[in-house]
Each structure stands twice: as C-alpha cells, then as structure tokens.
Structure 1
Amino acid sequence: MTHADAYPLRFRPLIKQTIWGGSKLGTMLGKPIGGDGNDAESWEIVDHGNDQSVLESGPLAGKTLAELIADDPVWLLGSKHSQPKNQFPLLLKYLDCNRVLSVQVHPDDAYGATMPVPDLGKTEAWYVVDADPGAVIYAGLKAGVDRGQLAEAVRAGETERVLHSFAPDPGDCVFIPAGTVHALGAGLVIAEIQQSSDTTFRLFDWNRVGADGQPRPLHIEQSLDVTDYESGPVPARKSHKSQSGWQTLVQCDKFTLDALEAGSDSVGGDERFHILTVPRGSATLQAGNDTIKLARGQSVLLPAAIETCRVTVESGATVLHAGPPAE
C-alpha cells in the first residue's frame, strides 16, 4: 500500500458485557448495545488475539486490524515502530461503570512476559467523560502504605481504607502506570487508552458475586507482587478548556495522550499512527479532500502513511489523541 491509499480508518466497536455495566454506552455515546443493561465496555480499536477491530468503510472494509498490519506494517504503524511483533500496541475503549469495578493492579512488561500465557504489561490512562454526583475514582495507595499494610487490609475486607480516592470532574485525566492499585467507582463513563494487553490481577471485589452466583476469582499474591509501593496517591490531571491546540495530558514510554478543547490543530503526516476519539461534543476531520464529521463517541485510526490532517472541535467539544511514545 502507498501514501495515496491511506485514509482515516473507522472500525466496528466490540461491546463487552460484565456485571458492572449499564446502558450509557448506547444512550450517551451511540454504541450498538443490547437491552439487558450490562454493557460495560466498547472496544474501539483493538488487536489482541481473537479480539479484533473490523474496518467498516473504504476500500479495505472488512479487514481486521491484525490483517491490515500483516498486509503492510509500515503503512499502518510506521517505519519507526519498535513493537517486538507486528501487533497494534494500544487499545482504545469506553467504559460505563454502572457499578464499582474491582480493585485491580496490572503488571509491567517484564512480569507479563513470564506469565503462563505471555502478554504485555498494562499501563493505561483514563479520561472522565461523565461523572454522577458522588462518583469516586480510586487511584494509588495512600502515602506510606506498604505491602504488609495492603495485605492486612485485603484480608480484613477493608481494602478501601488504604486506597487514595477522589471525586473526579468530567474532563479529568488519570494516569495509571503498571503497578498502580486502582478502581473505577459507580457512576462514571470513561475513555481509556492502554497497552494492548489483558493482564489484570483482581485484588478485591467488594465481597460480591458474579453472574453465576459465585465470588469472582482473586489474584491476591500476584497483585501484592506487582504493586508499586513507592508512587503513592495519583492525582487528576486537567486541561484548559479555553486553550487552543493540542494539550499534553500524558507522555510516557508506552503512549502519548493529548486533548484538543478549542480551535483546530494538525495531526498525522509524520510516519506515525494516530488515534482520535470524541468523548464530548463533535468535531471535523479534514483528510485530503474529505471532510469527516466525528460525533460524540466516534473514533478513527490514522495510518502512519496518511498525509497531514486537520482536526477542528465544535464549541464545548473535546477530541482526544493517542499515539506512540514521543521520540
């Protein structure tokens, strides 16, 4: 494939159901959910084993993300892509947290490689799309909490007392590096960018049972092993609603995450892939001679071979951009 073949790629969302899901993915973000009220996640862009994004439009429609990469990894990922295997390295999803999620921690890449089914570690970042009054985010341990104190709290069924928590505002960003103990509370809608990984250790599940009436499995020792006891509480990061142009929210060794809150800015044309999603309002993407309207909840992947595009946000809207780590 060539530069001339490159165009914004729109994929069919994968809807995941769990006991903590709701209906806001449909009512708020326009996702094709069912009617049973437990739709928890919409995987927008994913290449992870059998979980595959399928292209919806254009001359390559019907291909999976893995097939696109197999056909021409440089066209999609760029010549500087350093992933050890030709797999799309990031996963974009929306979450409807109708009930509190389990308290979890993710390992890093080194630990993930030693697992029975090797996988990447998982560093992630959240963008708060919506928050009910009183909704809470748990992010990191309270200052000074060590392994022994965390283990004791878990055994006593009182994990919450050692967790840092706060009430987020819509637009807040929370960076969760691998090793950070965390949980999303009830009443939140979240956009999440993460490594393409499924390495989750469940530390505490609020003493509840799953759909089969049994407690869901816990991974207490693995969680204690991979937890970072030095980083402490994780604060929210905030953008400036009136500032024009891209604003950096997260810059780490796994990805960058930026927000466009006002005006317009360029993206692409740099031989790197780029992800765009619209958690609030609507936006316009100018790609060559094509003008593409992006409604709330819609996402696109710009292949590395695409020419420079222009993104413009409507008043009160937000566009999130995620891409490979900065050089």
Structure 2
Amino acid sequence: MLVQKLVPHYVEKPWGRTDLPPIFAAGAGRQIGEVWFESADGRDLPLLVKYIFTSDRLSIQVHPDDTQAVDKGLLRGKEEIWYILDSEPGATLGIGLTAPMTPDQFRAAAKDGSLEQWIDWKPVKPGDCYFIPAGTVHAIGAGITLAEIQQNADVTYRLYDYGRPRELHLDDGVAVSRLQLYDRALTQAPLGRETRLIGDDEAPFALDLVHWRGDQSVKVPDDKLLWFTPLSGAGTVNGLPWEKGDCLLLEGNCAFTITTGPVSALLAIPR
C-alpha cells in the first residue's frame, strides 16, 4: 500500500485529560494522555507520531540512545521532538538541568524528591518546538497539548514521579542521563510558517513544518517513508481523504498529489 491512513490508538494515563479536542471524539469520557498513530497491519515502523494531552505533570524521565538500547536487547533507542499546539498560562516543559550534577548527586535527588528543583523548567506557548536527544532528562508539565514525533521505541526510564505509585528505573536512568544543561536553542514556528524543525544530520529523522495554500505534488525518495500529519485543513492524498487530526503514511518510489486548501502540516522522514 503506497498511502495509508494510520490508526489512532488511545492511551489512558493518570495525567491525561477527559476534555480532548473534538477531532479526537473517540476518546471522550476517558482520561486520555496520548493518541498514537499505528499501522493497521502491525508493522514495526521506525517512527511514531503521537498527540499528548496533559492535565498534570508527567514523570521526570530519560531515554537511551540506539547503542544503549541495543545493549539492553531492544531494537532501537528513543529520540523525540515536541511541537506545542496549545498551552495553558504558566505551562512549562522540563528539559535538562539547571547545573551539572554528579551521578551520586543525581541519584540522591531522585530518591529524596529534590530532583524537581534541578530541572530547567521552560515556559511554553503554541508554536514552540524542542528536540529531545537521547540522554536528556526531561518532563512535560500540565496544561499542554503537543504533537510528538519520535523513534518508535517504548523505552522510558522513569526517574521521579511526584509520589505516584509507579516503578522507577534509577539504575538504567542514571546510566544514560546527560547530567548537564540543555544546550539547544528554542525553535519558534507558529502555524502558517514553513520551517525545518530538525534535520536528519542532527536526529534519526528530518521534520518540517509546512504551510500550503493549494494542491501539492510530493515525491517520497526511494526506500523512504513519509509521515504526513495535518494540523489544519482537509483534503485527499491520491484520492484518500484526510483531515486535521489524521496521520498518513506515504511510501517511497511514488509521486503523491495532496489536494488541499490552506493546510499546516508536519512532514517526517526517517534518516
């Protein structure tokens, strides 16, 4: 199949929300934290597109890189990028530390709860975008809706969880954490702008924000896949209907005609 609409999978979380946007009506009444877009045939795809909705803080956590993950018997590590779609006043993201720490300091802070004070909490607004390399200690705060594009790996080392009765993974987490400040600049890319959010020379994938005012012809390179995630608008891809809230997978070695009026969308291609 050269183009397919990926299937939304609704994931309940203790920090999720019951008041999802109307485009995600299938999750109404449940405390949904994430919507994952997966292949209907169960294929292991290299990337995963998610929407994340928060009513409370997520755990402070970290992910391994590919080498560290393979050493643990996993297929791949996890690097991700966040594009903020909506945020309540005062909403923050925690990314990196406010000062370098030793592994012993870091472990002790995770155990006694003071780790929260070491996290660099950054205010956010719609259109903000942050890339989270593997090893970056991070947390998503309350009152945020974001789109996340990540390597397709369900591997998270939870370091601190605000007293929730969930398992922590301090040994694995401390081993892979970069105990330093986050040194990447914020990318500001409001809807309606065309911007390269990350290149495949920096990440396991390239991600672009596009804004098209009319029909487009898209050629996906041979042996590549492209994730088309519209954030506004509606139309068709080679006759297959899409609308805001969908995610389509386009397979390489084929030209695609995307019929649309104005649309803002995320385009992701693995390295």
Match of 1:23 in 2: 18
Q: 1:173-199, CA deviations, whole angstroms, 9 ceiling, x for partnerless residues?
A: 110011000111111111111111011
Match of 1:50 in 2: none
Distance in 1 (alpha carbons) for counterparts of 2:23 and 2:128: 18
1:119-138 equivalences under 5 Å are 119-138=75-94
Q: Is residue 115 of structure 2 the alignment partner of residue 165 of structure 1? A: no
Shift of 1:241: 5.0
Match of 1:9 in 2: 4
Shift of 1:20: 1.1
Pairs aligned (count): 267
Distance in 2 (alpha carbons) for counterparts of 1:123 and 1:221: 20
Match of 2:228 in 1: 276
Match of 2:248 among 254, 278, 300: 300
Match of 1:323 in 2: 269
RMSD after superposition? 2.3
Shift of 1:147: 2.6
Match of 1:177 among 133, 139, 144: 133
Whether contact under 8 Å (1:164, 1:234) holds in the other structure is no
1:28-177 equivalences under 5 Å are 28-36=22-30, 38-45=31-38, 53-54=39-40, 64-66=41-43, 87-115=44-72, 117-177=73-133
Whether contact under 8 Å (2:229, 2:266) holds in the other structure is yes
Match of 1:222 in 2: 172
Whether contact under 8 Å (2:197, 2:207) holds in the other structure is yes
Any idea what SS the aligned residue of 1:101 has? coil
Any idea what SS the aligned residue of 1:9 has? strand
Q: 1:2-57, CA deviations, whole angstroms, 9 ceiling, x for partnerless residues?
A: xxx63x311221111121111244x3432411523x11111113xxxxxxx31xxx
Q: Is residue 255 of structure 2 the alignment partner of residue 255 of structure 1? A: no
Shift of 1:262: 5.1
Distance in 2 (alpha carbons) for counterparts of 1:119 and 1:286: 31
Paired amino acid for 2:155: T
Q: Percent of counterpart pairs with the same letter?
A: 31
Distance in 1 (alpha carbons) for counterparts of 2:173 and 2:213: 43
Distance in 2 (alpha carbons) for counterparts of 1:65 and 1:22: 27
Any idea what SS the aligned residue of 1:152 has? helix
Whether contact under 8 Å (2:6, 2:246) holds in the other structure is no
Pair member with larger Rg = 1
Q: Runs of 4 or more off by more than 6 Å in structure 1?
A: none
Structure 1 gap ranges (5+): 46-52, 55-63, 67-86, 209-214
Shift of 1:154: 1.6
Whether contact under 8 Å (1:123, 1:194) holds in the other structure is yes
Distance in 2 (alpha carbons) for counterparts of 1:129 and 1:285: 23
Distance in 1 (alpha carbons) for counterparts of 2:106 and 2:51: 29
Any idea what SS the aligned residue of 1:13 has? strand
Quick one: structure 1 residues 24 and 273, their matched pair in 2 at CA, closer, same or farther if it must change by over 3 Å?
Answer: farther
Decide which structure has greater strand share: 2
Structure 2 gap ranges (5+): none
Superposition TM-score, scaled by structure 1 size: 0.74
Whether contact under 8 Å (1:41, 1:96) holds in the other structure is yes
Shift of 1:164: 1.0
Whether contact under 8 Å (2:98, 2:119) holds in the other structure is yes
Paired amino acid for 2:161: D
Superposition TM-score, scaled by structure 2 size: 0.89
Any idea what SS the aligned residue of 1:128 has? strand
Distance in 2 (alpha carbons) for counterparts of 1:12 and 1:223: 31
